[in-house]
Structure 1
Amino acid sequence: MAKHPDNRKQPTERIADRRARAAAARQAELRAERRRRLLVRGAIGALGLALVGGVSAVAVTQHSGSGASSGTAAAMPAHPRTTADGRTTAGPWDAPSDPAAAVAAAGLPMLDSEGTVEHIHAHLDVYVDGKQVAVPPLIGIDEGAQRISPLHTHDTSGVIHIESPLKTDFTLGQFMTEWQVSLAADHLGGNTADGTHTLTAYVNGKPASGDPAAIPLSAHDEIALVYGTAAENGQVSVPSSYAFAEGL
């Protein structure tokens, strides 16, 4: 009688394939872990507020899996800050070591997760002495506490994310205070306007008058701060728009 092959035994290469797929799945899980922790904390925080207040039902809205509680929404300022306090050094400026304190100085709350009622993006370019200064990542984000400001950055692209639990106004002054960089009509950090240096703010390629800290952040605005001598500023090609990634 002929012997049939033992189907219970798998070829070595098939086992290797399974192991490779398992490893890839694990890497994907690790990449998603940070995001998942943020979402879980947001859901638990919203549920806890509902229980304490005796609310009979809690609705958690989501955008990319995120929302915000009504308690933190109530902490949003009725009127945005129109000045910017912070460092008066020449730059470049990194993200603050204590983001929660910087966000509080801007008059904004730290959220358990991104708000979803207002979700827009603006872009900021900064030029000092003819050279571009990077806007750092993680402005307004406390990775250790897994909390986030409604006004924040994720990377060095200069894209400012406005993800708020209620629809309200936001300003460049709030953002610069979160960045801890002092800004007014006559200075940017430690760079002061004088007889040979100017500071000009642009919105969508057009000069903006007054205190640049009061500039509102609107959807897809391109904001540029340009400081330097006439010759240095002449080297800067002030952008009138920014190519936002799909979905922003």
Structure 2
Amino acid sequence: MASDRFLWATITTGAVIVLLVLLGQQNALESSNGLWSSADDPHPLSLECLDHGSLARHDHVTLKIFIEGEQYAIPENLGIDTGVCNESGENMHTVHTHSPGERLHIELKEAGDVPLGVFFDIWGVHFDDTGIFDYRVNATHGITMHVFQDGQQASESNQVTSFDDYLLLNGEIIEIYFQEI
């Protein structure tokens, strides 16, 4: 009787250990950082490809991103010759950069609106009111976004809260700040 209890206790303990190890491995495989990303559900416009011909819209917006006070470099040629847009001729996404990277080119075959989130979906990084990249809003950090014209600077009067849903307009300057509150 005692040997049966010892046997079942050993089997139960072993099973619990195996279960805990498997659960730990599953969590490690789910995500390298464990964070949900808005880029996992891309906007349909982020999947459209085009060339420079027959455009109904070709606008420019300046985007600057600051993380903890340091300007984040936006890559040059982002959205050009990607895994999605790589065909001969139609090798650009609807929003892309050339040089310098902070100047966004918004191009459409048909007139229409383009939310800022499309650019981040093309980039493959997270951006919405919960944060940017792997930085998330929490008790100590927040995100703000300002939209203004050349000659102005970020202030409370030009702060917007639409983040990824903000519709891009020609000539605007957009500054995003993730910083300690």
Q: TM-score, normalised by structure 2?
A: 0.65
Listed as ranges, the gaps of 5+ residues in structure 1 are: 1-83, 88-101, 231-248
**2:178 maps to 1:227:** yes
Match of residue 106 from structure 1: 43
Q: CA 1:207 to 1:179, structure 2 compared with 1: closer, same or farther past 3 Å?
A: same
Quick one: which amino acid aligns to residue 131 of structure 2?
Answer: H
Q: CA 1:219 to 1:113, structure 2 compared with 1: closer, same or farther past 3 Å?
A: closer
Q: 1:130 aligns with which of 33, 57, 69?
A: 69
Q: CA 1:196 to 1:149, structure 2 compared with 1: closer, same or farther past 3 Å?
A: same
**SS state of the match for residue 76, structure 2?**
coil
Q: CA 1:188 to 1:114, structure 2 compared with 1: closer, same or farther past 3 Å?
A: farther
Quick one: which amino acid aligns to residue 124 of structure 1?
Answer: L
Listed as ranges, the gaps of 5+ residues in structure 2 are: 1-36, 149-153
Match of residue 72 from structure 1: none
Q: CA 1:194 to 1:115, structure 2 compared with 1: closer, same or farther past 3 Å?
A: farther
Distance 1:218 1:174 in 2: 14
Q: Offset of 1:219 from its aligned partner?
A: 0.7
Q: Is the 8 A contact 1:114 1:150 kept in 2?
A: no
Q: CA 1:115 to 1:183, structure 2 compared with 1: closer, same or farther past 3 Å?
A: farther
Quick one: which amino acid aligns to residue 172 of structure 1?
Answer: L
Distance 1:213 1:195 in 2: 21
Aligned residues: 130
Q: Is the 8 A contact 1:184 1:212 kept in 2?
A: yes
**2:144 maps to 1:200:** yes
Structure having the larger proportion of residues in strand: 2
Distance 2:53 2:160 in 1: 30
Match of residue 156 from structure 1: 100
Q: Offset of 1:116 from its aligned partner?
A: 2.3
**2:60 maps to 1:121:** yes
Match of residue 173 from structure 1: 117
Q: Which runs of 4+ in 1 moved over 3 A?
A: 112-115, 143-146
Match of residue 186 from structure 1: 130
Higher relative contact order, structure no. (Cα contacts within 8 Å, ≥ 6 residues apart): 2
Q: Is the 8 A contact 1:121 1:162 kept in 2?
A: yes
Q: TM-score, normalised by structure 1?
A: 0.48
Work out the percentage of aligned pairs sharing the same amino acid. Answer: 24
Cα-to-partner distance string for 1:188-230 (whole Å, 9 max, x where unaligned): 1211111111100111131112x40011100111111100114
Q: Is the 8 A contact 1:106 1:175 kept in 2?
A: no
